[in-house]
Amino acid sequence: MREFDVLVVGDANPDLVLRGDVRPRFGQQEQLLTGADLVLGGSAAITATGCARLGLRTALLTAIGDDLFGEIVRDQLRARNVRIITAPAAGVPTGLTVILNEADDRAMLTLPGTIAALRPADVTDALLGRARHVHVASLYLQPDLAEGLAPVFARARELGLTTSLDTNWDPAERWDWVPEILPHTDVFLPNSAELHAITGGDGPEKLVAAGTIVVMKDGIRGARAWWPGGESTAPARPVEVVDAVGAGDSFNAGFLAACLSGRSVREAVAWAAAAGSLSTRAAGGTAAQPTLDDFAD
């Protein structure tokens, strides 16, 4: 038996989530907030904590600085039963994202720091050999990792792992590296805008024909998925939304937890939609992530 059910690879950093009068006005005007939370952030870290909360033996390969923000990240991950495996990032500060939350939208300001420090060589065969599945998040915040990810996924498959990818949005809107990576990807987890951009609006058919399961985050509509020989939809869970930060990462965790515990793709899509919805019940990406009890029949 392998040591980990899932190895998550990618970003981990604090998120400073601000609510209230958050639209900046220069000229030294002081603005009053209604809320502020310093929470665990990073798409990979939030996915990892969601997987652990749903019962998967979970490890996170990430780069974290030797500073106060790094200690916050380590403490939060340990408290959520995620095994931390750190890559070298000497002298680089831990990344930070400031999230300005409005009622129906948000803006994000990110200091990359260690977020961009991962390299393909950090994902060793020895590490891959300890896991059943490898998931990579935040591709475009990690260009060095992204450039060599296709061979990493190819090696992972040769070693018997399954693979999944959540690119997140490409700020340059070029979508580099995706055509090389997707042929080695078992599960692709975009949102609707990302899928449209990557396929040029042609839909998921070509990806599915090549053998990839495509699971799309569809906002308040829940989830849609396509796989060789089937497709399905699943509704979002009705909840009172406090904060949608990290909902897509919890969505990923729901899907992976269902699949890696032997459930069908159709069941996993339903878990994904529910996990994404339930995570919005509290501020930040991890405070309201579901447990297995939330999926009990």
User: Which pTM was predicted?
Assistant: 0.95
Cα separation, 37 vs 16, whole angstroms: 6
Q: HSE (CB half, 13 Å, CA atoms) of 221?
A: 10
Q: Minimal CA–CA distance to 119: which of 154, 153, 87? A: 87
Residues 6+ apart with CB under 8 A from 196: none
**Number of domains making up the chain:** 1
Q: Is residue 261 over pLDDT 70?
A: yes
Do the domain assignments include residue 78?
yes
Do the domain assignments include residue 175?
yes
Do the domain assignments include residue 193?
yes
CATH number of the domain to which 49 belongs? 3.40.1190.20
Do the domain assignments include residue 157?
yes
Q: Beta-carbon neighbour count of residue 77 at 10 Å?
A: 24
Cα separation, 228 vs 205, whole angstroms: 9
Structure tokens at 284: 């930040």
Reported as a pLDDT band with limits 50, 70 and 90, residue 98 is: very high
Do the domain assignments include residue 60?
yes
pLDDT number for residue 185: 98
Q: Is residue 103 over pLDDT 80?
A: no
Q: What percent of the chain has pLDDT over 70?
A: 100
Do the domain assignments include residue 295?
no
Cα separation, 279 vs 110, whole angstroms: 22
Do the domain assignments include residue 27?
no
Q: Is residue 245 over pLDDT 70?
A: yes
Domain assignment of residue 9, given as a range: 4-21+35-286
CB 269 within 8 A of CB 215: yes
pLDDT mean across residues, the chain: 95
Do the domain assignments include residue 122?
yes
